[in-house]
């Protein structure tokens, strides 16, 4: 079954290559061995967001890394699967050319970590900033490859690439089996070349050189798993840009990388009362965009699941983590990564995670996960579905501010007719209504539905209590108008009952969505001070409940607040005022809804 599926995927990619790639790629796809796809889905632990040296100041140390390894082994004993442990950024000594580990954080180097991983059936992996100098100095062999400002090395000239490939071989020989390539700069060139060639020519030369070097590495070391992160294409900052990406993707990278990344978790440009739900929608959107460009779902790494105590994940802890985990698995990528503080996942939560993995590894392993519905960033209902000979599982999302119904499509020609179905996971509050192949969801709601075998109570994953969906929602008239710069307000007659939900979206003056970047921890500004919602009644300040009051390194374009009607004077107008501290002139849009929980 797996071999037949792999053969069909190779043929599918060859067809896509003919559409998206150069003539040279078309020939290569027809003459070379099968692409370096994984043989089966894998589970990875990545320790990023248990520490954070970019959006926070929590360092990577041997003690932290070994503590998380102990937690990983605890979870493995509870049935959670982990095949790899990725040591993420900044393990290396600044002056060691990626060959030595940073002291005093790693006084004894990595040997104890590597050996303990191997002794417990876990393959170790390492992060590299590829050809950019991120917390590392240029080694002597790299200096004749440096660009003008000394920030990155050419991949097609000088001594950097040969030395870098020697580094990869060195670590492979020491037991490393997964390699993560981040922060690549394909436009880097030595000054003479930068003055002579266009950026497009430089990019093509660098990409070709690096791809061929990785191809040779893979041929020698076929057990290596190579993953592409930042710099290999894609507009990852927002969910409003249309295709094609301004920073183009290139399917030729799938000749050497098993996976392509689609962006660290961040809020989408879809306003949600739950900040974490907007983050779910971001990762869903990016997967859909890469799929539209020809990337098979199993080759897309959504990097959508991080739990932890650091700024990179907005101090999430375990907030709304179960929905995020199910979505990560349901998107179909064959690298299923858990980032962050594993010590947070304990007891019944560990058992829950093991059950979710078991279900979705079955669905992923047959390569029959599909997308359906609208585009997440366009605020249209959508979903992911997996099918086997035993039934089908659908994970669906309604990102809009109204109740919506979505059809659950047939996923494969040989799919069993949809028999009895059952909602197996949902957010709290609104109870989804399932009828035949249609499900009705509340505003901003996620749910999972099982059919046939997967409708059994044993596949019930419960209710996500920390995302509460209103049982009803209705738009209210609100005539917002500009007052002072970057400020709008409206006088509103509040409803007699329920909650008043107010939503602001920020745009440029020409109407495009505009995100504000206010920095990351420890010095960044809390978004509650950047986007303010003020509500008054007869001069009295009214409390507003918000969930976006976080330091958001990745920017935000919206604000959502809720006001309890019970605290208002009946039949008296309230004044709702939105303000943005964005330094540029912006346009603000406002909307108001009555919700009942």
pLDDT in tens, 270-326: 999 999 999 999 999 999 999 999 999 999 999 999 999 999 999 999 999 999 999
**To 10 degrees, what angle do helices 199-220 and 160-173 make?**
30
Alpha-carbon distance 140 to 146, whole Å?
Answer: 11
**Among 321, 391, 388, 381, which residue's Cα sits nearest to residue 350?**
321
Q: pLDDT class for 30, splitting at 50, 70, 90?
A: very low
In Å, what is the CA distance from 159 to each residue of 190, 197, 198? 12, 20, 22
Alpha-carbon distance 271 to 269, whole Å?
Answer: 6
Q: How far apart are the first and last CA of the chain?
A: 47
**To 10 degrees, what angle do helices 111-119 and 62-77 make?**
0
Question: Is pLDDT of 14 > 80?
Answer: no
* CA-CA-CA-CA torsion sign (307, 533, 285, 352): positive
The reported pLDDT for the residue numbered 573 is 97
**Among 265, 286, 284, 292, which residue's Cα sits nearest to residue 276?**
265
Q: pLDDT class for 27, splitting at 50, 70, 90?
A: very low
The reported pLDDT for the residue numbered 400 is 98
**Helical spans, DSSP H, in 331-458:** 347-365
CB of 133 closer than 8 Å to CB of 188: no
Alpha-carbon distance 170 to 289, whole Å?
Answer: 36
Tokens of 246: 């301004």
Mean pLDDT over 549-571 rounds to 96
Question: Is pLDDT of 358 > 50?
Answer: yes
Q: pLDDT class for 169, splitting at 50, 70, 90?
A: very high
CB of 46 closer than 8 Å to CB of 303: no
Question: Is pLDDT of 21 > 50?
Answer: no
DSSP letters along 430-451, please?
Answer: S--EEETTEEEE-TT-EEEEEE
Question: Is pLDDT of 6 > 50?
Answer: no
In Å, what is the CA distance from 575 to each residue of 394, 462, 589? 42, 40, 15
Q: Comparing 436 with 21, which gets the higher pLDDT?
A: 436
Alpha-carbon distance 206 to 227, whole Å?
Answer: 18
CB of 525 closer than 8 Å to CB of 596: no
Mean pLDDT over 114-127 rounds to 98
Q: pLDDT class for 46, splitting at 50, 70, 90?
A: very high
pLDDT in tens, 524-552: 999 999 999 999 999 999 999 999 999 99
Name, in order, each residue with C-beta under 8 angstroms of 173's C-beta and a sequence gap of 6 or more.
none
CB of 313 closer than 8 Å to CB of 347: no
pTM for the structure as a whole: 0.93
Question: Is pLDDT of 477 > 50?
Answer: yes
Mean pLDDT over 207-217 rounds to 98
Alpha-carbon distance 427 to 54, whole Å?
Answer: 32
The reported pLDDT for the residue numbered 75 is 98
**Among 316, 101, 314, 92, which residue's Cα sits nearest to residue 182?**
92
**SS3 at position 194:** helix
């Amino acid at each position: 079954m797996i071999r037949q599926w792999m053969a069909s995927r190779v043929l599918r990619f060859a067809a896509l290559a003919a559409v998206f790639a150069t003539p040279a790629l078309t020939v290569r796809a027809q003459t070379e061995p099968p692409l370096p796809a994984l043989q089966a889905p894998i589970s990875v632990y990545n320790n990023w967001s248990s520490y954070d040296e970019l959006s926070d100041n929590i360092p990577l140390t041997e003690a932290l890394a070994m503590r998380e390894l102990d937690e990983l082994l605890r979870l493995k004993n509870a049935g959670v699967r982990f095949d790899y442990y990725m040591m993420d950024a900044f393990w290396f000594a600044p002056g060691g050319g990626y060959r030595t580990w940073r002291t005093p954080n790693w006084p004894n180097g990595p040997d104890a970590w590597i050996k303990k991983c191997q002794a417990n059936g876990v393959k170790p992996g390492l992060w590299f900033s590829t050809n950019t100098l991120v917390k590392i100095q240029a080694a002597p062999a790299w200096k004749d490859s440096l660009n003008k400002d000394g920030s990155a090395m050419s991949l097609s000239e000088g001594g950097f690439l040969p030395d870098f490939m020697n580094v990869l071989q060195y670590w492979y020989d020491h037991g490393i089996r997964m390699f993560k390539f981040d922060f690549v700069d394909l436009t880097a060139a030595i000054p003479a070349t930068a003055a002579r060639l266009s950026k497009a020519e430089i990019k093509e030369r660098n990409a070709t050189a690096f791809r061929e070097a990785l191809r040779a590495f893979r041929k020698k070391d076929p057990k290596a798993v190579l993953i592409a992160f930042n710099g290999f294409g894609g507009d990852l900052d927002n969910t409003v840009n249309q295709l094609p990406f301004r920073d183009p993707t290139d399917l030729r990278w799938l000749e050497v990388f098993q996976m392509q990344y689609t962006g660290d978790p961040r809020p989408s440009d879809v306003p949600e009362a739950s900040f974490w739900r907007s983050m779910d929608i971001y990762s869903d959107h990016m997967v859909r965009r890469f799929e539209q460009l020809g990337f098979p779902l199993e080759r897309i790494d959504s990097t959508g699941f991080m739990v932890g105590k650091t700024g990179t994940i907005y101090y999430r802890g375990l907030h709304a983590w179960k929905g995020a985990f199910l979505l990560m698995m349901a998107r179909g990528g064959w690298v299923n990564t858990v980032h962050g503080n594993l010590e947070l996942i304990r007891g019944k939560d560990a058992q829950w995670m093991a059950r979710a993995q078991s279900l979705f590894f079955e669905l992923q392993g047959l390569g029959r996960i599909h997308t359906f519905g609208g585009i997440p960033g366009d605020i249209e209902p959508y979903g992911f579905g997996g099918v086997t000979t035993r039934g089908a599982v659908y994970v669906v999302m309604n990102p809009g501010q109204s109740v919506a119904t979505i059809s659950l499509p047939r996923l494969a020609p040989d799919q069993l007719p949809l028999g009895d179905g059952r909602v197996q996971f949902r957010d709290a509050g609104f109870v989804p209504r399932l009828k035949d192949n249609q499900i009705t969801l509340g505003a901003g709601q996620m749910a999972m539905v099982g059919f046939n075998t997967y409708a059994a109570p044993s596949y019930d994953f419960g209710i996500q209590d920390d995302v509460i969906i209103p049982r009803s929602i209705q738009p209210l008239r609100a005539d917002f108008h500009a007052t002072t710069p970057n400020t709008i307000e409206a006088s509103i007659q509040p409803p007699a009952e329920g909650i008043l939900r107010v939503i602001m979206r920020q745009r440029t003056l020409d109407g495009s969505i505009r995100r504000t970047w206010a920095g990351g921890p420890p010095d960044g500004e809390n978004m509650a001070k950047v986007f303010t919602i003020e509500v008054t009644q007869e001069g009295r300040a009214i409390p507003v409940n918000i969930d976006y009051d976080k330091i958001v390194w990745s920017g935000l374009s919206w604000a959502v607040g809720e006001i309890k009607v019970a605290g208002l004077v009946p039949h008296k107008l309230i004044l709702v005022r939105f303000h943005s501290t964005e330094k540029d002139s912006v346009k603000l849009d406002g909307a108001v809804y009555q919700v009942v929980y």
